[in-house]
Amino acid sequence: MGAWGGAARSRPRSVYRGSVRRGLFFLLASLLVVGCGGGNDEVAGGAGDLPQSVPTAVTFAEAPPGALTAPDFTAELLDGTPVTASELWRDRPVVLVFTASYCDRCAEIHRAVAEAVDAHEGAIGLLGVVGEDDLEGGRDYADELDLGHPVAVAGERIWLDYAAREPGLVVLVGKGGKVLRGWPGGATTEQLRPRLEELVAP
């Protein structure tokens, strides 16, 4: 009876231990997947889209005398990562696109700018700027465009500093932070391309 009783006690205990081990295994596995980004938690327009190092052997033209200094600002990208504009244009020219998810023409403008910028293979930066009230729409907008460039969420003060009365404004900022040109109604690839070529020397 004692032998039978001992077997009876050990059997449920081993089953219980096995269940606990399996449960812990699956819990740890799921945590590792989430922690390692296995769920594809990278946000379009977030930190993963920030520009990398400037290509070697690339030089940039100086801004013309009298060019206005671009207003600096710090804002959060669509994934919450803070970005400071002056850090982007410290090493390269940057194109700013003030855009919005509800602007019918803005996606087309943003694509055109990205095409001109991408032709320079990392020598030029591109930063989209959406309003604070357009955060959720901005995420969908960036995800749909999938341009591979960051998008910042900026307050009204930043829009006012750039006289961005409505989305679609494109601003070209030279290396070091001087405003070189603005297109209030947006810019096409053909309009932007020669301006960028003037700035970049291989």
* pLDDT higher than 50, residue 15: no
Residue 173: CA atoms inside 13 Å, Cβ hemisphere, count?
24
d(CA 113, CA 115): 5
pLDDT at 42: 87
Q: What is the per-residue pLDDT across 188-201, written as a single tens digit (0 to 9) for each?
A: 999 999 999 999 97
d(CA 108, CA 188): 9
pLDDT at 114: 98
pLDDT at 41: 65
pLDDT at 172: 98
How wide is the angle at C-alpha 111 spanned by C-alphas 128 and 72, nearest 5°? 20
Which pLDDT band, with edges at 50, 70 and 90, does 14 fall under? very low
Q: What is the per-residue pLDDT across 37-64, written as a single tens digit (0 to 9) for each?
A: 333 468 999 999 999 999 998 999 999 9
pLDDT at 187: 97
* pLDDT higher than 80, residue 30: no
Q: What's the mean pLDDT in 160-171?
A: 97
Structure token digits, residue 126: 């591109």
For the chain, what is the radius of gyration of the CA atoms? 26
Maximal CA-CA distance, the chain = 101
Number of other residues whose CB lies within 10 A of the CB of residue 65: 6
Residue 191 CB burial class (10 angstroms; 0-12, 13-18, ≥19): middle
Q: What is the per-residue pLDDT across 60-73, written as a single tens digit (0 to 9) for each?
A: 999 999 999 999 99
* pLDDT higher than 90, residue 9: no
d(CA 155, CA 151): 13
* pLDDT higher than 50, residue 36: no
Mean pLDDT of all residues belonging to the chain: 85
pLDDT at 31: 31
Least confident stretch, 21-35, 110-124, 141-155, 163-177: 21-35
Collect all residues with Cβ–Cβ distance below 8 Å to 165 and sequence separation of at least 6.
184
* pTM for this entry: 0.80
